[in-house]
């Protein structure tokens, strides 16, 4: 059994996330308390019993999703008596999940990760207000076909790009509103099963986020990152990275670049990963992994019951 730990991105938030772990495991409670302290804000109360609209705001959703992921991982480490480098061969995260993966692998402290993600969410929101945009999921077209689609839907002043290659037949595009609208119409002409706008507030993972990337570069410059205990598969390269300085550079590129999730999972499977453990709220990544690498197994840890199942799975 060769294991990779994976960490979800934005969209996996829901009210009640992490509450069961907090109630049952002191190590989880400590995670949520540390994140609250780092942000000078009772994020855990918002997560456990707050308003979904407020939780979905980018600057809240990003640290909340990360906190739940790290709480789940810390519970697994405590209950199994093993650290992540004794359990996993790789870590990887989808978009903001890359920060969770770095924290999980000891490259970033928990408080620094929370602060970085709040800043990242704020910068992305500010960039969205300056350069309005949107995102859409295109289902049923190949990555190559979507590359043609975004090229043909773009004009000199209205551009769209590939934002996430989630799995075969599920590609997310991002860019100016008019270009995304054109792309949705064109996708239907090209035979897409469905194209739907996503409930997000901007054109994330595209050059519309350039200013957010520049601000993140400044934030990361003053944030200590050390060599991870486990290699991380970077969104931008879809390859294992362990160099701390290179990781910082890739985190900046990730703000405007594409999340190469399909290739990331294929890379890990090719390196011998047989089992994926998704740490955090929901099972989005587990679903994608089943489509990308059907010969591997995926389980999720998001509450007490799923943690116990994971411990039994690990033997």
The C-alpha atoms of residue 298 and residue 6 are separated, in whole angstroms, by: 10
Q: Where are the alpha helices (DSSP H) in 97-176?
A: 97-104, 110-130, 143-153
Helix or strand (DSSP H, E) at 84: helix 84-87
Q: Phi and psi (nearest 5°) for 233? A: -90, 110
Q: H or E element: which one contains 189?
A: helix 177-189
Catalytic pick among 12, 69, 95, 258: 95
C-beta of residue 91 within 8 angstroms of C-beta of residue 105: yes
Strand, coil or helix: 35: helix
Regarding beta strands 3-7 and 90-93, do their DSSP bridges make them parallel or antiparallel, or are they unpaired? parallel
Cα distances (Å, whole numbers) of residue 293 to 1, 168, 283: 15, 10, 15
Q: What are the two backbone dihedrals, phi and then psi, of residue 278, each rounded to the nearest 5 degrees?
A: -90, 120
Instruction: Kindly state the helix (H) or strand (E) to which residue 232 belongs, with its residue range.
Output: strand 232-233
One of 100, 134, 195, 205 is an active-site residue; which one?
205
205 is catalytic: yes
Helix (H) or strand (E) holding 161: strand 160-167
| CB-CB contact of 99 with 117 (8 Å) | yes
Tell me if residue 206 is catalytic: no
Active site positions, annotated: 95, 205
């Amino acid at each position: 059994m060769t294991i990779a730990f994976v960490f979800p991105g934005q969209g996996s938030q829901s009210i009640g996330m992490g509450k069961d772990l907090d109630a049952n495991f002191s190590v989880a409670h400590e995670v949520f308390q540390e994140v609250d302290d780092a942000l000078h804000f009772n994020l855990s109360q918002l997560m456990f019993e707050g308003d979904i609209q407020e939780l979905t705001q980018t600057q809240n959703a990003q640290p909340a999703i990360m906190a739940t992921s790290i709480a789940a991982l810390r519970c697994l480490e405590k209950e199994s008596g093993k650290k992540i480098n004794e359990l996993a061969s790789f870590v990887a995260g989808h978009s903001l999940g890359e920060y969770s993966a770095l924290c999980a692998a000891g490259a970033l402290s928990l408080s620094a990760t929370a602060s970085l993600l709040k800043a990242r969410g704020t910068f992305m929101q500010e960039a969205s207000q300056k350069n309005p945009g949107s995102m859409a999921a295109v289902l049923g077209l190949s990555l190559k076909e979507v590359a043609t689609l975004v090229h043909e839907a773009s004009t000199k002043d209205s551009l769209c790009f590939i934002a996430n290659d989630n799995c075969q037949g599920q590609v997310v595009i991002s860019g100016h509103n008019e270009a995304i609208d054109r792309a949705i119409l064109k996708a239907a002409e090209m035979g897409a099963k469905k194209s739907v706008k996503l409930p997000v507030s901007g054109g994330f993972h595209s050059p519309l986020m350039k200013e957010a990337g520049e601000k993140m570069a400044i934030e990361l410059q003053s944030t200590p990152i050390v060599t991870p205990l486990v290699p991380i598969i970077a969104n931008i390269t879809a390859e294992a990275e362990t160099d701390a300085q290179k990781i910082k550079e890739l985190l900046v590129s990730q703000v405007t670049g594409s999340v190469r999730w399909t290739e990331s999972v294929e890379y890990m499977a090719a390196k011998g990963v047989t089992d994926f453990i998704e740490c955090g709220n929901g099972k989005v990544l587990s679903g994608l992994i089943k489509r990308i690498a059907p010969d591997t197994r995926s389980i999720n840890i998001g509450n007490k019951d799923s943690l116990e199942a994971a411990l039994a799975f690990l033997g």
